[in-house]
Structure 1
């Protein structure tokens, strides 16, 4: 038996099949039971770890499909061997499908670093699930062996079946392949049907966060719809399988494009100017005929939304391309664009802020008071010529005592960390503006966005200027991308003409007209923060605490975090207090759930109790997402309780006047907290309040909340 055949045979075994099983009333229970099956066969090191990763995927979008099917799936560090665990459920369990509960559930478990061969097998199963004959056979199976044989047949396709899914026109050009940075495949569709639907050609891209299941099921659903309509459809699946992008010639000849994605489309600029219908990936599974009909209509509508060259958000098939682009509303696009900027900005904030905090730890908090600044030490000293700390302290009373370390080596290293951190932090506003523009106009918007952000910094417009400059640069770049230019000029547009023209327009408008008013607004906001005291400061802490705990890493949480991290650039006591309130409040939800599972374990399932143990470390590290498994299972109790505790913590931080000079790290950046004791006390207060609230809510519930 070949290696490939062995891998296929081992994908599912008799021990991984449960027929007509009652695994609980909730999807969490089903996933936990299937994860336990996988771990019990030695294919995962931890059932809890696999279950946690699968539930984290569920939190992104439900995995229930029409027709009574559920495909919870994930990549997990806990998985050692690519595995399928199957349960035919009785009674049905709700996995979020629009038509009700599921009686067929597959847990698709892939190793975090699994090979492509295993992923091909997993996606073969996902594609079979959209075929009624396959699901009917699963429901009719009388033994576990029948299920294993059925699954083995679909994940071990014959050469004829493989040929049927090979694109008719595969691109062999390296230049075409390089346009898609993630693995992509061209799924075949029906042959052209003369005279049917006017001989239209439609191309599509499907992509989901993990790239294992929904990506390929959406592709096959669209292919089946195209066969029913008698039109030509080619699908590029941007998933985990290493396959081929759509040929450029095919895209050029297409009448319309469908984007069914929950993640940004890779190489989106290839489709620029094409009529587009965009939605999340699940709509292509649930309503493929409707999406195809919309694409055909768009192909003949001069006012239809068109691909502008880029988009950056879950399901953002046509960012900023006007109404009518599938399910993507204007406000969803606005949120996606802003969150794109924030998500790319955060690494600069985290790296720069933590390096600055390390500089304070090594050299002391008065490293900023050195004559000429920290950079003066770096320019005049080295590891072989350390600074004279005694002379520095004698020259400035602020540096005496604990203001500056006594060790010349520590002072020098602290200056190094502080300077590198300051340089990294200086990219905060340009990165924010650059990637907001990227979210609107894709790659042609990056250079104008960074330019507008740099002008915002120069003008003193700060964070507000970065937002305005990024939006302005993106819109200008997008407008230029819509110009109808000669074909010979199109190749120069995204790499030279659009960046140049948009940089001049956006940068010029910021410098000449918008920079000073925005700088005045930024200074006013800074002065307002610095002037907060008493009840006003406490109220701000309450609001920030509520925002941090509302959606546990979602847009509201990110908005509060972005507000705090942007304020760090001001280096004022008020901005440090805001940062402290945001981080402390964000630590409360996972810590509260950990405490609640410890004091009343009978209220929680075995899996939840294991998640509670992990939540201690996640909360201490400021990873609010540690509470997501609990919130997903019981949002009406967990989220309000978390918000109450977060509000208490935010208010306490502001009342104590606690300051924090690092943007991330939780208790592990204790050296950046002033004082650490009040920060710890504020987190403790919120954790206790939140834990008591969720425990009481669960204990007094009329219906049980845990299996």
Structure 2
């Protein structure tokens, strides 16, 4: 059979491509033909119209809304999360085969009677805006909790590149020019820039990163609203995020503004209007009215209470020290390895990135928020590294496929891609996941204890120069990885011994 598939995950970094590779491998093994469109961080290479036309069924392995979904209208489909193919790609393909044979087609991809559908974009990312409320995977599938999480993760996934770029540039600016560049005025970069001056380069990096940071909350709010209402929600969402900054409501304000703007825009797009004005609704009327409504509510009703709540959160983070900070580091480490890219992992990561977002560009080098980010990254690096170490030390406890995955896990773990541990956890969750949590909790606690800091939300060992107390950070990761490896070897050795016992008894009889 012939299939097409779309894969996407909230961060667009690891799961997206792991799911695609798993589907391609499973299709080859089963003798099927498959073409996969990865809607990840590097952009998407769209499926061709011919590939879609020839397909017997469509596989949606996505945790975000599938862009341009109306292309698949009328095609039988199976709709799974991005982890489905990673855990069992053969089962996903079997479901697609069954869908093709029974002819079940998705309702979510059907164009609406008014001509809307999908996200209103063609394969190049441009196209006519939808004339009515869009039907997307997020809006049409799953329960309330699932939809809220997907809307939130859509905003976070678009925000993360801004956090990464801005945070790294700010940290590099401090490395090059010293912390005093935070007191310089941006105009000095324009008026007094000197090619041979480290102060000039430091100031350039710092102010460029600071400006990038200013987009964090508007981008978060804008793409939460985009996930809810498609492009009509983008303007009011970005505006709501800007108001959150103006009222000092920060990250929390951006979250609330995104949902507020999205639902206002969605409600506007569902109002029946005469055909004569339908064309201007999504590009003029809906953004205008929804933006005004969002601004009105954020300025006059929600801005001040959310700012107060944000201040309480910031004060709490700033007051953490000693045992409380160590406990938080351990908990974040445990969360990072609990489901390795799933909702719990993403909750911990979002909490950490929210902290450095709230701290802003001018925060002190030793701010607690940066220690929390460092503990979170250490907890996410440890699972793949620990499993790689375990496969190297006790290869006989692992299958040939796991030993190969162990070799790749060295690089994945070093790069802070926790998903490198998923194949091991999927094959033996009861023994592997507790061992991963033990190592990650240890690493997170040690980082909190050492006071290591990190302004960049990603990068692993590749951003070591940007880490405060880098040697202690690396020691924490190494110790956590060793704990993971020892725990995995212990649980697997115990399991093998128990499995071998009945066979030995039978041979004796």
**TM-score per shorter chain, which class?**
0.7 to 0.9
Question: Residues of 2 paired with 1:55 and 1:518: CA distance?
Answer: 38
**Contact 1:583/1:622, CA 8 A, preserved across alignment:** yes
Q: How does 1:525-564 map to 2 (within 5 A)?
A: 525-564=313-352
Which aligned pairs between 1:25-104 and structure 2 lie closer than 5 A? 56-57=18-19, 73-74=23-24, 85-86=28-29
Pair 1:697-2:508 in alignment? no
Q: Which residue of 1 aligns with 2:239?
A: 451
Output one character per residue of 1:34-81: Cα deviation in whole Å (capped at 9) or x when no partner: xxxxxxxxxxxxxxxxxx99993299xxxxxxxxxxxx6228xxxxxx
Matched residue, 2:41:
none
- Corresponding residue for 1:316? 138
Distance 2:118 2:189 in 1: 55
- 1:477 and 2:271 correspond: no
Q: Where do 5+ consecutive residues of structure 1 fail to align? A: 1-7, 12-51, 60-71, 76-82, 87-104, 129-179, 189-203, 226-232, 239-245, 260-265, 273-307, 319-326, 387-407
Match of 1:584 in 2: 378
The answer for the alignment partner of 1:669 in structure 2 is 463
| Cα drift, residue 187 of structure 1 | 5.1
| Structure 2 residue matching 1:357: 3-state secondary structure | helix
Structure 2 counterpart of 1:151: none
Task: Report the equivalent of 1:378.
Answer: 189
Matched position secondary structure for 2:301: helix
Aligned residue for 2:453?
659
Map of 1:169-568 to 2, 5 A cutoff?
181=68, 184=71, 217=97, 220-221=100-101, 224=103, 252=113, 270=130, 272=132, 308-311=133-136, 315-318=137-140, 328-369=142-183, 372-373=184-185, 375-383=186-194, 408-568=196-356
Question: What TM-score, normalized by structure 1, do the two folds share?
Answer: 0.58
Deviations 1:602-653 (A, max 9, x none): 1111221121111111111111111111112122222211111111111111
Greater helix share, 1 or 2? 2
Moved more, 475-484 or 576-585: 475-484
2:391 paired residue among 587, 597, 607: 597
**Cα distance in 1, alignment partners of residues 427 and 236 from structure 2:** 44
Aligned 8 A contact 2:333 2:444 in 1: yes
CA distance in 2, matches of 1:429, 1:215: 40
Q: Give the Å deviation of 1:310.
A: 4.7
Distance, in Å, in 2 between the alignment partners of 1:672 and 1:546 is: 24
Q: RCO higher in 1 or 2 (8 Å CA, sep ≥ 6)?
A: 2
Q: Are 1:619 and 2:413 counterparts?
A: yes
Conserved? CA contact 1:185–1:236, under 8 Å: no
CA distance 1:414–1:525, shift in 2 (3 Å): same
Task: Kindly name which structure, 1 or 2, has the bigger radius of gyration based on alpha carbons.
Answer: 1
5+ residue gaps in structure 2?
3-13, 38-43, 59-66, 86-91, 120-125, 501-509
* Preserved contact between residue 310 and residue 440 of structure 1 (Cα < 8 Å): no
Q: Deviation string for 1:662-702 (max 9, x for gaps)?
A: 21111111111111111111111211111111111111113
Specify whether residues 120 and 494 from structure 1 end up closer, same or farther in structure 2 by C-alpha distance, changes over 3 A only.
Answer: closer
Q: Residues of 2 paired with 1:650 and 1:349: CA distance?
A: 21
Q: How many equivalent pairs are there?
A: 454
Task: Tell me: CA distance 1:665–1:186, structure 2 relative to 1, closer, same or farther (3 Å).
Answer: closer
* C-alpha deviation, 1:363, in angstroms: 2.0
Which residue pairs with 1:78 in the alignment?
Answer: none
Change in Cα spacing, 1:497 to 1:567, as seen in structure 2 (3 Å) is: same
CA contact (8 A) 2:456 2:463 kept: yes
Residue 89 (structure 1) aligns with: none
RMSD of the TM alignment (CA)? 4.0
TM-score normalised by length of structure 2: 0.78
1:355–1:74 CA distance, 2 compared to 1 (3 A):
farther
CA contact (8 A) 1:550 1:556 kept: yes
Given candidates 432, 435, 442, the residue that maps to 1:641 is: 435
Q: Secondary structure at the match of 2:138?
A: coil
**497-506 vs 562-571, which moves further:** 562-571
Alpha-carbon distance in structure 1 between the residues aligned to 2:131 and 2:94: 22
Q: How far did residue 205 of structure 1 move?
A: 7.9
Residues 207 and 237 in structure 1, CA contact (< 8 A), matched pair in contact too: no
